Amino acid sequence: MMRNKADNKNIKAALTIATAALLGGNSTVSAETVNSTDDSAWEFDSAFLFYSEADRVSASEAIFNAKKTFEDDEVLNLKLTVDALTGASANGAVAQPNVQTFTRPSGNGQYDVAPGDTPLDDTFRDTRVQINGQWTQTVADDLTASGGVHLSKEYDYLSLGINGNLAIDFDRKNTTFSLGFSYFQDTFTPEGGIPKPFASMLIGDSSDPGWDEEFAKTRIGSEDDKTTTDILLGITQVINRRMIMQFNYSYSMVDGYLTDPFKIMTVVDNDGLAQDYVYESRPDSRVKQSFYAQSLYHFDTTVLDVSYRYMWDDWEITSHTIDSRFRIPLSDSFGTESYLQPHFRFYQQGAADFYRPFMMENDPKPAFASADYRIGEMTAYTLGIKYGRLINNGHELSFRLEYYRQTPTDAGFDEPGVLKEVELYPSIDAIIAQVTYSF
Amino acid sequence: MNIMNKAKVVLLISLSITASGCSSLGVEPWERDLLSKKEMTLTASPIDSALDDHIYFSKEASSGGKGFGGGGCGCN
């Protein structure tokens, strides 16, 4: 036990030096000086998550978070996130009774989809690195200010963001009003460029000499961008010794390129047979609003955490989210504390006004259209369990295992001919597994 | 518009309950034994929240609410 304790301290000391060096602080700081200062000044969280959909995408994500609390309760938080994604993703087209051939988003090569199968593009592969920094401090009695920066980089995507938050305490700190603001600037440089809205997907031999020229006619540029501005208003209220509540209102404006350049739609005839595949097109602005309420209640030993969110936007999407966790401490054994925490989440959304699972050949062309099931009508739920164990020095090790199921539903679209025979709204099942170590 | 108005009403009601109830709500500083526990903080596990937000942001049409729901990745 003593050896373990010493090892843990050394790891923490080494990480403290490494973090200080990264911050550009005095890199000659020695292990002795770190050990002699307050050992609780730095807190580290590390986590690894694995997400896997049956027959589709799988993702691995690692987070490392370092938090330092200074003498005047100033808090510096630094977070590094790395994730990798591989696998197949729905391209937006509908299943057909025959083999279908599609061109990859890059324009280099084709892929075939078997009869009756939902068309999936299996070329998705991406690695992302994200860095966040946040500084929080008291600026006056009962007034706390916080500011942060965000950077996220993928092969084909760059996101830069800033945020600020002010919180004012009232009534013996039982009531807190907060006002937050965040701004993101994102640039998308998809491989193969930005497709022309509603242009037909070019299908043929990509090694043909005239291919590149023909493919370029379906493109309007190499990159595009979008900005996101969020305003968040919140109230936190202590109800009594056992209960605390929070209410938030948020307003979010997104402007710019909101289309998914990898998504297409099937154009069918009156028999439901595919005649063409066209690139989707979404409006270049979206205003989202939401109301969020959360309540925590401490029973004798257990804690119940329940939240509800209602979201609505000017694409006519509305959604309800209920998220709940129940923490059950397990009886102390050998001086260690542990808990179990079941998790249940329910989500239901309505479709965007321009969502449609496919287009009819003879219908007039709409201003906007997308067959992306993620903006269609859908119900989803998550069932999970977390086991956490406090080990020596206040370190915590936890495991989380969850099952997530998405069930897209029919919002009342007619299904001509062969489309009655195929699955237009396939469900998606995913497993989420996570290990977290805090020290 | 109807939905927006409804949400505003819900928000106003909850705000007024919070504001008008202030005299009877809340605790004295020495009654914060339970509230000061880590599991009673509004975001008890920021790591879990960050990972969940990323999953649901990329798989559903909604984001944010508890915190900022803005940009961040090309996953949506």
* Chain A: residue whose CA lies nearest to B55: A51
Q: Which tokens go with A236?
A: 């936190």
CB-based burial label for B48 (10 Å; 0-12, 13-18, 19+): buried
Paired sense of beta strands A274-279 and A378-390, if any: unpaired
Does some domain include residue A395? yes
B62 inside 8 A of chain A by CB: yes
pLDDT in tens, A86-130: 999 999 999 999 999 999 999 989 999 999 999 999 887 889 999
Instruction: Report B:6-45 residues touching A (Cβ under 8 A).
Output: 7, 10-11, 14-15, 18, 22, 25-29, 31-35, 37, 39-40, 42, 44-45
Beta strands in A196-335 (DSSP E): 219-221, 224-240, 243-256, 264-268, 274-279, 285-298, 303-313, 318-333
| A27-59 confidence digits (pLDDT tens) | 344 433 444 345 458 999 999 999 999 989 999
Phi, psi of A9 (to 5 degrees): -65, -40
pLDDT given at position A33: 41
Cβ contact (<8 Å) for A47 and B27? no
- As given in the structure block, the two tokens for residue A297 are 């209640």
CA distances A18 to A13, A34, A74, A270, Å, are 9, 11, 20, 65
User: Helix or strand or coil: residue A135?
Assistant: strand
pLDDT over 70 (residue A349):
yes
Residue A310 in tokens? 């209602």
Contact list, B37 vs chain A (CB under 8 Å):
298, 303
Token reading at A415:
């299904």
pLDDT per position as a tens digit, A157-197? 999 999 999 999 999 999 999 999 999 999 999 999 999 99
Q: Is B56 close to A130, i.e. CB distance below 8 A?
A: no
Instruction: Classify residue A25: in a domain, yes or no.
Output: no
The answer to whether A244 contacts B35, with C-beta atoms less than 8 Å apart, is yes
Q: What is the DSSP letter of B14?
A: H
Residue A269 lies in a domain: no
**pLDDT at position A32:** 39
Which of the residues B10, B31, B33, B73 would you substitute to probe the A interface, choosing the one with the greatest number of A C-beta atoms within 10 Å? B73
Nearest beta carbon to residue B68 from set A232, A291, A321: A232
Q: Averaged over A204-223, what is the pLDDT? A: 92
Residue A363 is part of which domain span? 40-87+124-196+227-254+288-438
d(CA A85, CA A270): 38
* C-beta of residue A377 within 8 angstroms of C-beta of residue A399: no
Q: What is the DSSP code (8-state) at residue A355?
A: B
Q: Which of A85, A288, A296 has its CB closest to that of B42?
A: A296
The two structure tokens encoding residue A207: 């090694």
**What's the pLDDT score for residue A29?**
40
Q: What are residue A402's DSSP bridge partners?
A: A384, A432
- The pLDDT-based confidence of A335 (bands split at 50, 70, 90) is low
Is A268 a member of any domain?
Answer: no
| Terminal CA-CA length for chain A | 16
| Residue A94 counted as domain residue | no
pLDDT score, position A30:
41
How many domains does chain A contain in total? 1
Which residue in A152, A239, A349 is closest to B73 by CB distance?
Answer: A152
Cα(B54)–Cα(A4) distance, rounded to whole angstroms?
35
Select the residue of A247, A312, A404 nearest B14 (Cβ to Cβ).
Answer: A247
Residues of B with Cβ-Cβ distance to A174 under 8 angstroms? 22, 25-27
Are B4 and A232 in contact (CB < 8 Å)? no
Of A305, A312, A400, which is closest to B7 when you measure between CB atoms? A312
The answer to whether residue A370 is domain-embedded is yes
pLDDT tens, residue by residue, B31-65 = 999 999 999 999 999 999 999 999 999 999 999 99
Higher local confidence (pLDDT), A335 or A305:
A305
**Rounded to a whole number, what is the distance in Å from the CA of A36 to chain B's nearest CA?**
26
The CATH number for A313's domain is 2.40.160.40
Query: Which of A363, A194, A373, A353 shows the shortest CA–CA distance to A267?
Result: A363
- The mean pLDDT of chain A is 91
Is A278 inside a domain boundary?
no
Q: Which residue does chain B place closest to A311, by CA atoms?
A: B62
8 Å CB contact between A430 and A51: yes
- In the predicted model, is pLDDT for residue A2 greater than 80? no
pLDDT reading at A222 higher than 70 = yes
Amino acid identity at A153 = K
ipTM: 0.89
Residue B64 at interface with chain A, using a CB cutoff of 8 Å: yes
A63 forms bridges with which residues in the sheet? A47, A81
* Separation CA A280–CA A272 (nearest Å): 19
Split at pLDDT 50, 70, 90, the class of A18 is: low
CA angle, A430 as apex, A295 and A414 as ends, to 5°?
A: 95
Q: Is A281 part of a structural domain of the chain?
A: no
Query: pLDDT class for A73, splitting at 50, 70, 90?
Result: confident
